[in-house]
Structure 1
Amino acid sequence: MTPSQLEPPSPPTPGTITRLARTLRGLPPAERWWGPGCAGMAGWLKRAALSLPPEDLTPRFRALLAKVREGEPVLPDEAKHHQYVLVRGMLGDELPGYLLDNVQRLERRGLSVREAAVDTEGLLADNVAVLREALLDAEHFGRTVVLVGHSKGGVECTATLALYPELHHVVRAVVTLQAPYGGSSIAHDLATTPELRRVIDFAFPLLFHGVSRSVEELSYFQRQAFIQQHPYPAGIPTVSLASSRLSRRSTLYPLQRYLHERYGYQADGMVTAVDAEVPGARMVRLDDMDHAEAAMRGLPGLGRYHPGDVTEVMVALALETR
């Protein structure tokens, strides 16, 4: 028997989850925290708004959705004149099938579609720069753009137009799907609770090569500061989807229940419905959709919506306004 055969085998390299668990165990105990969390913060923007109440498009949405489900066309003729830039939300790069049905549906309708190359765990400023380049490209080739952003992606769409008003003429319309425009209760608690903050500070870089500050940017404090300095401009045709759901059949039920029982918030599991309302936007409000259903196909019998159907109808609604 050779010496190499006598040597014990090398231990396997620990996986990511194992390394994360060891790292967290090695940290000093987090401060015990019994603060108010984000109690009373949801809907701050709506309470402060001085504008007229938004137009409720929910009945129109349901009517068009019924047509789409029957295979009837709902997009106007002008739809083929624009380019559609879809923007992923937080962790979108990590989720198989994320926005796949949304993109494929628009492509099957003969539309020009591209996904913005944003870093879904990156900072707002970096992703805004990516969207600005996409708009500049469209301007160079004489095209107009419809921006479609899900979750954090919707925040980045609106931020780009708030920061670069000279590009408004390039954008035909904006669609936000469950975007935490006013802030995210879940992100706020993750960023401000000591016992949770250390998880994102270590898990985000280790598991997703992300920046934990990208979560903090969706807290109420930071969204308030940004919106006060860079309000969403008027005059851009915008349609926003706000949703909520409280159902054991939802994969996000634990988060829905947390927000409902701790704060009394009606949420889709990640965003409270009232915080998804963009000032000046025409609104679609659903009380039976969780945060994943607008961007990912669910298991049969668990979800009520198909992402492609939702996207097609929302785009049709956005193009009805000039």
Structure 2
Amino acid sequence: MFLSSLISRARRTVRGSAEDIGWLQHGVHTLPNSMVYLLVPGLISNHGPLYFVNTKMRFSKMGLACHIAKIHSEASIEKNAREIKEYIEEIYWGSSKRVLLLGHSKGGVDAAAALSMYWPDLRDKVAGLVLAQSPYGGSPKASDILQEGQLEDLAYEKRKEFLRKHQLPKELSVVSLNTEAGLAPGVLAMFSHVAHAELPLVAPLAAGQSAKLPVVMPLAAAMAACAQLLQVRYGEKSDGLVTCRDAEVPGSVVGRPKHKLDHAWMVYSSMNDDSSDITGGDWTEAEG
């Protein structure tokens, strides 16, 4: 034991910090396993079975406890806030670990509502909150086009009314992320993997052949078109659905990646084979 320790110290003295310098660029990341990570999905998650799947897999590969909140994303903010509160309490009682919430899009708004409405009950059970591309201040899409119905809660007037009544506690650690959608012609050729389609088994499959086909959609092109519209009409930069300014929670630590990333980037994988592209799982890990 002593000899092993002595050798280790001698090696460290000779090597110095050579193995540590630049560790962030070497793909060596560590997140604490002293907490449980709860991913809160946004709108259309009920219609997209692969929503947050890659992100959850990334956490699982690091040996971290991670759950996706099974809420009805199109329900009201107040209803989802109650359900998220119950998720947090159930996770805490089962693991005795505090919960770090990561909400995407409306999921971030729902998660923030849960903490602002039920903070006395959740104070000792929550480690922090990360909002990714969330319309915390509201959404011009909800106000201008889709104000009534399921998106009414995200209209500016509704958000102003809600935030007058319910503010995030000052002692809560909050990180908010905003991104800009790419407008270059290349985004028109990008497709996102959103689901799997089962093939009818009319004949036996060959060894190793999958009965599933990837379902892809040109989400990047759609987000680019929406972002350009917001840029022309309001002069505001956005990820296609949420403006950068509306995604920043006052008083929070704000992340603004240099990469051009649209609203769907974090939750759906791209069919682009460029390994240099960062993924939602990469940024989620960095946020933690």
Question: Which whole-Å deviations, capped at 9, do the CAs of 1:195-243 have from their partners, x for residues lacking one?
Answer: xx6xxxxxxxxxxxxxx2x301001110111011111111111111111
Secondary structure, in 3 states, of the residue corresponding to 2:256?
Answer: strand
Do the aligned residues in 1 keep the contact of 2:52 with 2:68 (CA within 8 Å)? no
Shift of 1:172: 0.7
Higher relative contact order (CA 8 A, sep 6+): 1
Equivalences for 1:89-238 in 2 at 5 Å? 89-141=42-94, 142-166=96-120, 167-192=122-147, 212=149, 214-238=150-174
The ranges of structure 1 where at least 4 consecutive aligned residues each deviate by more than 6 angstroms after the TM superposition are none
* 5+ residue gaps, structure 1: 1-65, 198-211, 316-322
Please give the alpha-carbon distance, in whole angstroms, between the structure 2 residues aligned to 1:161 and 1:231: 9
Tell me which residue corresponds to 1:71: 27
Please give the alpha-carbon distance, in whole angstroms, between the structure 2 residues aligned to 1:216 and 1:190: 10
- Indicate which of 275, 278, 282 corresponds to 1:305: 278
Please give the alpha-carbon distance, in whole angstroms, between the structure 2 residues aligned to 1:124 and 1:152: 8
Tell me which residue corresponds to 1:43: none
Total equivalences in the alignment: 228
Secondary structure, in 3 states, of the residue corresponding to 1:305?
Answer: coil
Do the aligned residues in 1 keep the contact of 2:175 with 2:255 (CA within 8 Å)? yes
Please give the alpha-carbon distance, in whole angstroms, between the structure 1 residues aligned to 2:71 and 2:27: 33
Do the aligned residues in 2 keep the contact of 1:117 with 1:130 (CA within 8 Å)? no
Tell me which residue corresponds to 2:265: 293
TM-score (norm 1): 0.67
More strand by share: 2
Secondary structure, in 3 states, of the residue corresponding to 2:55?
Answer: helix
Query: Structure 1 residues 114, 132: CA separation in 2 closer, same or farther (over 3 Å shift)?
Result: same
TM-score (norm 2): 0.74
Is 2:268 the counterpart of 1:282? no
Shift of 1:260: 0.7
Please give the alpha-carbon distance, in whole angstroms, between the structure 2 residues aligned to 1:120 and 1:87: 9
Do the aligned residues in 2 keep the contact of 1:260 with 1:266 (CA within 8 Å)? yes
Do the aligned residues in 2 keep the contact of 1:246 with 1:257 (CA within 8 Å)? no
Tell me which residue corresponds to 1:262: 233
Do the aligned residues in 1 keep the contact of 2:37 with 2:65 (CA within 8 Å)? yes
Calculate percent identity across the aligned residue pairs. 31
Shift of 1:305: 2.5
More helix by share: 1
* 5+ residue gaps, structure 2: 1-21, 188-219
> What letter matches 1:107 in structure 2?
S
Tell me which residue corresponds to 1:50: none
